[in-house]
Amino acid sequence: MATHRIGIIMNGVTGRMGTNQHLIRSICAFREQGGIPAGPSDVIVPDPILVGRNPEKLKALCTRTGIEKWSTDLAAVLSDASYTVYFDALTTRQRYESVRQAIAAGKHIYCEKPLAETSAQAIDLYRLAKKAGVKHGIVQDKLWLPGLLKLQRLLAGDFFGRILTVRIEFGYWVFSGHDVPCQRPSWNYRKAEGGGIILDMFSHFSYILENLFGTVKAVCCLAATHVPERIDEAGRPYACTADDAAYATLELADGTIVRIDASWCVRVRRDDLLTIKVDGVRGSAVAGLRRCWAQHAGVTPRPVWNPDVDSPLNYFADWAEVPATQDYDNAFKAEWDLFLRHVACDQPFRWSFLEGARNVLLAEKAAESSARRAWIPVPPLTG
For the chain, the 3-state helix, strand and coil shares in percent, each to the nearest 5, are: 35, 25, 40
Say if 383 falls within a structural domain: no
| Residues 156 and 268 occupy one common structural domain | yes
Say if 252 falls within a structural domain: yes
| Residues 281 and 231 occupy one common structural domain | yes
| Residues 108 and 228 occupy one common structural domain | no
Q: What is the CATH number of the domain that holds 45?
A: 3.40.50.720
Q: Residue type at 219?
A: V
Relative orientation angle of helices 353-372 and 197-212, to the nearest 10 degrees: 120
Say if 49 falls within a structural domain: yes
Say if 382 falls within a structural domain: no
Question: CA angle 292-139-34, nearest 5°?
Answer: 90
Do the beta carbons of residue 91 and residue 187 sit within 8 Å? yes
Say if 220 falls within a structural domain: yes
Say if 192 falls within a structural domain: yes
Say if 309 falls within a structural domain: yes
Q: Which domain holds residue 204?
A: 143-326+361-377
DSSP 3-state of 128? helix
Total structural domains within the chain = 2
| Residues 167 and 133 occupy one common structural domain | no
Distance CA 365, CA 346 (A): 34
Say if 312 falls within a structural domain: yes
| Residues 213 and 314 occupy one common structural domain | yes
> Which residues lie below 8 Å from residue 270, measured CB to CB, with a gap of 6+?
169
| Residues 248 and 150 occupy one common structural domain | yes
Distance CA 286, CA 166 (A): 10
| Residues 88 and 150 occupy one common structural domain | no
pLDDT at 2: 80
| Residues 163 and 278 occupy one common structural domain | yes
Residues in the chain: 383
Q: What is the CATH number of the domain that holds 248?
A: 3.30.360.10
| Residues 366 and 239 occupy one common structural domain | yes
| Residues 156 and 284 occupy one common structural domain | yes
Do the beta carbons of residue 82 and residue 107 sit within 8 Å? no
pLDDT tens, position by position, for the chain (383 residues)?
A: 688 899 999 999 998 899 999 999 999 999 999 999 987 778 999 999 999 999 999 999 999 999 999 999 999 999 999 999 999 999 888 999 999 999 999 999 999 999 999 999 999 999 999 999 999 999 999 999 999 999 999 999 999 999 999 999 999 999 999 999 999 999 999 999 889 999 999 999 999 999 999 999 999 999 999 999 999 999 999 999 999 999 999 999 999 999 999 999 999 999 999 999 999 999 999 999 999 999 999 999 999 999 999 999 999 999 999 999 999 999 999 999 999 999 999 999 999 999 999 999 999 999 999 999 999 999 998 76
pLDDT, tens only, 199-257: 999 999 999 999 999 999 999 999 999 999 999 999 999 999 999 999 999 999 999 99
Strands 257-263 and 163-171: parallel
| Residues 284 and 214 occupy one common structural domain | yes
| Residues 274 and 344 occupy one common structural domain | no
Q: What is the DSSP string of 302-371?
A: -----TTS--S--TTTT-EEPPP-S----HHHHHHHHHHHHHHH-------HHHHHHHHHHHHHHHHHHH
- From residue 295, how far is each of 278, 285, 313, 316 by CA, in Å? 10, 6, 15, 10
